[in-house]
Amino acid sequence: MIKSFRVILFFILVLNLAFSSFAQTQPWKILQSPVNVTLKNLTFVDSLTGWAAGEAGTIIRTTDGGNSWDVQNSTVQTFIMDIFFIDKKLGWALTLKDEFPFNSVILKTTNSGNDWFAENFPDSSKYIRTIFFFDSLNGFVGGSYIGHTTDGGNSWTSAEIDSNMVSGFPVYNFSFYNQQFGFAAGGRLDIAGVIWRTTNSGLNWTAQGVGVDEVFDVFIFDSLNAITLSGDPEGFYPTAEIKTTNAGLTWSNDTLSFFGLSFAIDFRTYNEGWSASGYKFLLTTNRGETWGGFETPDSTVVYDLQFTDARNGYAVGENGVILKLDPTLVGVDDYAESLDDFILYQNYPNPFNPITNIRFQIPEMPGGKAGFGFVSLKIYDILGNEVATLVNEEKLAGEYEAEFNIKSHSGEGRNFSSGIYFYQLMILGPESSSGQGIVQTKKMIYLK
């Protein structure tokens, strides 16, 4: 597997594939790494705490935003194919035995990775390469099939997938918008890139061929819009941008003006997105309308990236490289959208039942201070009674999204009837002593 990645990237380098470019002030800085092996996967639960994993059973962790990393004992020496944490304590990783019978192995930790416990995947005929959990009980695995669990991985059930020419191709990654709606990405080299779609919590999936090359990741903007990139590893065909505007019912495929792969895609802000593409990053500052190439520092190779918020982004790759983004540097700010405005967006979907999402933007303070203060996001009924609190804490400048689930806020005498509700966002500056702040309120509709 490691060799295949190097062959892919060798072709890309030798063919000197052309990228359109942004100004090349380097915003990605190399962090001190405790290892020199390939790091293929990255998972952060907040701006400070994250894990990276890859070759030779390597798992490393940071709790201070990448300033320092400790090497954990994964108990295995084989390649860590995926790693996923739902909080600072509970996480999973995947590997594959390198000797007969070549079982897939799930690693699990309940104490931040201080101890990892390995168990063979119960079905030795299944090849597993990605894992995703909503909580301690409900999760998914993907690879040669899609499996789901409701008991924390003690048992796995095959999901129902529609039958067509591409539905049985390998699954590489999961991206969920909420617990009901999400996508899986994958495909087979030089045959088809495939995106699977579920609207019933992963019980059933429909598969759709979206191009001729594999898809490794999907970024979901909202309930209707999602995006990914697909590239040809041999470099014969250019990178393709693949989009949906109707919740994945159909996908467009538009050829870009350069070549390269996309191993991972994530957005720092609503408009600014990055792709980990081997020897290059790909960058858009207009929500995917156009893309350009962005050099990696010292020509490092990157395989995964993640933004925890608008201020913090990380990437990992070959030779143990760990990168961190500084978005304040000239060269990114020249293209990045402004965080000067306080914005409360309309919830989506609207009307909703039972879940809707509310996105908001917190502006920077005058003088470029990072924090704005205390943020409160509350739900009120038509009579002005508070029925739910979604956010009630200090936040840094950036874009955020909160989920309102009627079911989770029912009970304790509350009975949500159909009709109009209001959501109100209040931001108090950190130096405010009068209780004055910025307030916006919008209307939404709940339909049973």
Choose the final residue of a domain: 294, 325, 356.
Answer: 325
The answer on 278 and 154 residing in a single domain is yes
Given a cut of 50, is residue 256 above it in pLDDT?
A: yes
- 277 in a domain, yes or no? yes
The answer on 362 and 312 residing in a single domain is no
The answer on 432 and 299 residing in a single domain is no
Res. 1 pLDDT band, cuts 50 70 90? very low
Highest average pLDDT, of 14-18, 325-329, 428-432, comes from 325-329
- In the DSSP assignment, the letter for residue 436 is -
pLDDT given at position 431? 42
Q: Sign of the C-alpha dihedral, residues 104, 33, 266, 90?
A: positive
The answer on 179 and 123 residing in a single domain is yes
- 104 in a domain, yes or no? yes
In the Cβ-directed half-sphere of 248, how many Cα atoms lie within 13 Å?
A: 27
- 332 in a domain, yes or no? no
Count of the separate structural domains present in the chain:
2
- 335 in a domain, yes or no? no
Reported as a single tens digit per residue, the pLDDT across 154-168 is 999 999 999 999 999
Which is nearest to 269 in space by CA: 345, 348, 347?
Answer: 345
- 258 in a domain, yes or no? yes
Beta bridge partners of 80: 95
- 331 in a domain, yes or no? no
The answer on 276 and 140 residing in a single domain is yes
The answer on 77 and 198 residing in a single domain is yes
Check which CATH number belongs to the domain holding 150 and give it: 2.130.10.10
* Tokens at 246, concatenated: 């109707």
* Tokens at 127, concatenated: 């090849």
Check which CATH number belongs to the domain holding 417 and give it: 2.60.40.1930
The answer on 438 and 303 residing in a single domain is no
Describe the chain by its helix, strand, coil percentages, rounded to 5.
Answer: 5, 45, 50
pLDDT given at position 249? 96
Reported as a single tens digit per residue, the pLDDT across 420-432 is 899 999 887 544 3
The answer on 52 and 20 residing in a single domain is yes
Which is nearest to 51 in space by CA: 29, 35, 70?
Answer: 70
Q: Where are the beta strands (DSSP E) in 164-261?
A: 171-176, 182-188, 192-198, 204-211, 219-220, 226-230, 240-244, 252-255
The answer on 410 and 314 residing in a single domain is no
Q: How far apart are CA 242 and CA 216, in angstroms?
A: 12
The answer on 357 and 270 residing in a single domain is no
pLDDT given at position 370? 43
Choose the final residue of a domain: 298, 325, 352.
Answer: 325
The answer on 244 and 309 residing in a single domain is yes
Choose the final residue of a domain: 265, 297, 325.
Answer: 325
- Measuring CA to CA, how many Å separate 447 from each of 245, 294, 360, 389, 444? 23, 46, 23, 20, 10
Given a cut of 90, is residue 245 above it in pLDDT?
A: yes
Res. 12 pLDDT band, cuts 50 70 90? very low
Residue 411 backbone zone (phi > 0: left; psi -120 to 50: alpha; other: beta): left
362 three-state secondary structure: strand
- In the DSSP assignment, the letter for residue 251 is -
The answer on 374 and 302 residing in a single domain is no
Residue-range definition of the domain harbouring residue 404: 343-446
DSSP assignment of 108-126, as one string? EESSTTSS-EEEE-S-TT-
Global confidence as pTM: 0.73
Reported as a single tens digit per residue, the pLDDT across 37-75 is 999 999 999 889 999 999 999 999 999 999 999 999 999
